[in-house]
A and B are shown apart, each in its own frame.
Chain A
Amino acid sequence: MNDAAERKLALSHLWVAFAAFIVACFMGEYQVLERSGLIPALESPTVYFASVSTHGVLMAFVLTTFFIMGFGYTIASTSLKQPIWNKPLAWGAFWLALFGVVLAAIPLLTGKASVLYTFYPPIVAHAAFYIGATLLVVGSWIWCTIMLVMFTQWKKANPGQNVPLAMFATAANAMLWLWASAGVALEVLFQLIPFSLGWVDDIDPGLARTLFAWTLHPIVYFWLIPAYTAFYVFVPKQAGGFLFSDEMARMAFIVLAVFALPIGFHHLYMDPEQAKGWKLLHGVGTFVVALPTLVTGFTVIASLEIAGRLRGGKGLFGWIGTLPWTNSMVLSVILSLLMLIFGGFGGIVNASYAMNAMIHNTAWVPGHFHLIFAGTTVIMYFAVAYYLWPILVRKPLFSKSMALLQLWTWFIGMSILTTPWHVLGLLGQPRRISTVVYNNLLTLSWKPYELMMILGGMILLGSACLLIYNLVKTQLSPYSETFTEEIEYAEPIHKVGVLPGYLNNLLFWNKVIAVLMAISFGFPILQFFFMNTFGSSAWGY
Chain B
Amino acid sequence: MEPMTEEERNNILQSSPIGTFALMAAVVGGMVIAWLFLYYGVFLPRG
Binding site for B on A (CB under 8 A): 242, 244, 294, 297-298, 301-302, 305-306, 309-310, 312, 315-317, 319-320, 341, 344-345, 348-349, 352, 354-355, 358, 426, 493
Contact = CB atoms under 8 A, between A and B. Distances in A.
Contact of A354 (B1, B24, B28, B43): B43
* CB-based closest 10 A-B pairs: A302-B17, A302-B20, A301-B20, A305-B17, A309-B12, A305-B19, A305-B20, A355-B43, A358-B43, A345-B31
A301 B42 contact: no
B31 A316 contact: no
Given A294-B24, A316-B19, A316-B22, A344 B31 contact: yes
Contact of B24 (A244, A301, A306, A358): A301
A298 B24 CA distance: 7
Main secondary structure, interface of B, reads helix
A310 B9 contact: yes
Interface of B: 1, 4, 9, 12-13, 15, 17-20, 22-24, 27-28, 30-31, 34-35, 38-39, 42-43, 46
A319 B19 contact: yes
A355 B38 contact: yes
A349 B24 contact: no
B17 A244 contact: yes
A239 to B, nearest CB: 13
Given A312-B4, A317-B22, A320-B19, 15 more contacts: A244-B17, A294-B24, A294-B28, A298-B24, A301-B20, A302-B20, A306-B12, A309-B15, A310-B4, A316-B18, A317-B19, A344-B31, A354-B43, A355-B43, A358-B46
A298 B42 contact: no
A348 B37 CA distance: 13
A349 to B, nearest CB: 6
18 contacts: A297-B24, A301-B17, A302-B17, A305-B19, A306-B17, A310-B12, A312-B1, A316-B19, A316-B22, A317-B19, A317-B23, A320-B19, A345-B31, A348-B35, A352-B35, A352-B39, A355-B39, A358-B43
A404 B4 CA distance: 29
B42 to A, nearest CB: 7
A358 B47 CA distance: 10
A306 B23 contact: no
A302 B12 CA distance: 11
Contacts of B38: 349, 355
Contacts of B18: 316
Contacts of A345: 31, 34-35
Contacts of B31: 341, 344-345, 348
Task: Give the one of A305, A306, A315, A341 with max B CB within 10 A.
Answer: A305
A352 B40 CA distance: 13
B35 to A, nearest CB: 6
B13 A493 contact: yes
Contacts of B20: 298, 301-302, 305
A493 to B, nearest CB: 5
